[in-house]
Amino acid sequence: MWTTPIDAPANVPYGAALLSTSTTTMMYLETPPRLIETRLFTAMPDRFRRKGVRTDWADANRPNIPTESFLEGPSFDKDGNLYIVDIPFGRIFRIAPDGEWSLVIEYEGWPNGLKIAADGRILVADYRHGIMELDAEAGRLKPVVTGRNSESFRGCNDLHLASNGDIYFTDQGQTGLHDPSGRVYRLASNGRLDCLLDTGISPNGLVLDPTENVLFVAMTRDNAVWRLPFMKDGSVSKVGRFCSLFGTSGPDGLTMDAKGRLFVGHPSLGHVFVFAPNGELIARIKSCAGPNCTNVAIGGENKDRLYITESATGSVLVADISGL
């Protein structure tokens, strides 16, 4: 196995990808990862950009960096509309299939993740308020769960919905290698809230595998994706690193296709990385905009398009993944 240079051409012969100052620790076996390009799907219109405005979120998470918006949480509804959140300004947008933007709600909060259930229910992971439910037609939010055992969450980041209605979500706060106490929760459809893990190193995006027997969690400050297998009683055990990356930030949003291939957004490398079920790096999807590829969603009529939020530029990118 060889370490893969991030800028290596897709046709580098096996064994030719040698160590360099710009290499990843992501591994492949015989076939170098395929390079997939992106194009701009849509960008936030100027009328929605908050130029020259600072917020507490931006001061803490993007100090001294102009922040007109910061997009996350892409998720499609049944009509093909793409919902996204704008964290620092407490906004949720709906983007029509033709790329037209509309503001669904603006409120006092920091929406960080969003998922739409099969029945149309829209759930939001809000850093300040916990897990919320959005009524898009009325433009209202209501709390689903705001804490555990009278203790507030540290700062919810993202969520994933199981087929049975269970909600998995991460409580990241400002955790990291200095404070490995981030949490991963499961809110069962019957209202039971279980803490599955409380030693996370900045837990971020998360996704279940197709069997729903394994949960994958991006641990941003560990620069890795952890693999959490479920035991018969629903707890997790033998948690391990599925893959490791590098960079000034770490993996962020995750999604997985029906074949069990994991798509990992990386907000400092300008790529989404694609891993096979065995952990082998099989493709890299390169941003045509900035480096902040924060989150991902699979869409298209045949589920053959990957949509990517490039947060710093306020853009949504799209890539053709039909050939994977």
CATH number at residue 271: 2.40.10
Q: Is 270 left (phi over 0), alpha (psi -120 to 50) or beta?
A: left
Residue with the larger pLDDT of the pair 229 and 5: 229
CA–CA distance, 207 with 37 (Å, rounded to integer): 24
Question: Is there a domain that residue 223 lies in?
Answer: no
Residue 300 is assigned to a structural domain of this protein:
yes
Residue 102 lies in a domain: no
For 15-73, write each residue's pLDDT tens digit: 333 323 334 456 788 889 999 999 999 999 999 999 999 899 999 989 888 899 999 99
**CA-to-CA separations, 133 to 120, 144, 157, 292, 317, in angstroms, rounded:** 11, 6, 15, 27, 26
Beta-sheet strands, E only, within 117-181: 122-126, 130-135, 140-145, 147-148, 151-152, 156-161, 167-171
In a domain, 152, yes or no: no
* Domain span at 314: 1-6+23-37+251-324
pTM higher than 0.85 for the full model? yes
Summarised one tens digit per residue, pLDDT across range 187-204 is 999 999 999 999 999 999
- pLDDT tens, position by position, 234-281: 999 999 999 999 999 999 999 999 999 999 999 999 999 999 999 999
CB 313 within 8 A of CB 64: no
The whole-chain average pLDDT of the chain stands at 92
| Domain-embedded: residue 279 | yes
What local confidence, expressed as pLDDT, does residue 285 receive? 98
Residue 127 lies in a domain: no
Q: Which residues pair with 176 in a beta bridge?
A: 179
Query: For 79-99, how does the pLDDT look when each residue is reduced to its tens digit (9 = 90+)?
Result: 999 999 999 999 999 999 999
Contact in structure between 85 and 91 (CB atoms under 8 Å): yes
**Residue in this structure with the two tokens 């996370």, named with its chain if needed:** 200
**Per the structure, how many domains does the chain have?**
1
**SS3 state of residue 192:** coil
Predicted confidence at residue 17, as pLDDT, reads 38
Task: Please report whether residue 85 resides in a domain.
Answer: no
Q: For residue 144, tell me if it sits in a domain.
A: no
CA distance 222 to 217: 11
* Contacts of residue 83, Cβ cutoff 8 Å, sequence gap at least 6: 73, 74, 75, 76, 77, 92, 93, 94, 95, 104, 114, 116, 122, 136
